[in-house]
Amino acid sequence: MGKNIATLIEVCIGLHCSMKSAYALLEAITKHYDLKIGVPSDDGMLIKEIECMHNCGNNTVVFINGMAIENTTVDNVIKYIDAIHIKSIL
């Protein structure tokens, strides 16, 4: 039986986003929440790497539950996740 995913975090690692610190952002999020890429957490959080989403702006492209996050500093992404994440009851 699989785990329920309450919060899906997708970070673009395409060339443009990689040059805009995508891997640093990915590492900061995984460390903050003690996540492993592609492995659901016990409380229903999953972080994934995604390829180019063709949304190359000034920041790394991050989607949380399918919604694009505009200001993708580490602090802003973590605040958003904390605000919306409802821990899954397993």
Predicted TM-score of the model (pTM): 0.88
d(CA 37, CA 23): 12
pLDDT (0 to 100) of residue 2: 57
Residue 17 phi, psi dihedral angles, 5° rounding? -65, -35
29-74 confidence digits (pLDDT tens):
999 999 999 999 999 999 999 988 777 776 788 999 999 888 889 9
Q: Residue 87 pLDDT more than 90?
A: no
pLDDT (0 to 100) of residue 64: 94
**Which residue, among 49, 45, 47, has the nearest Cα to 85 in the 3D structure?**
45
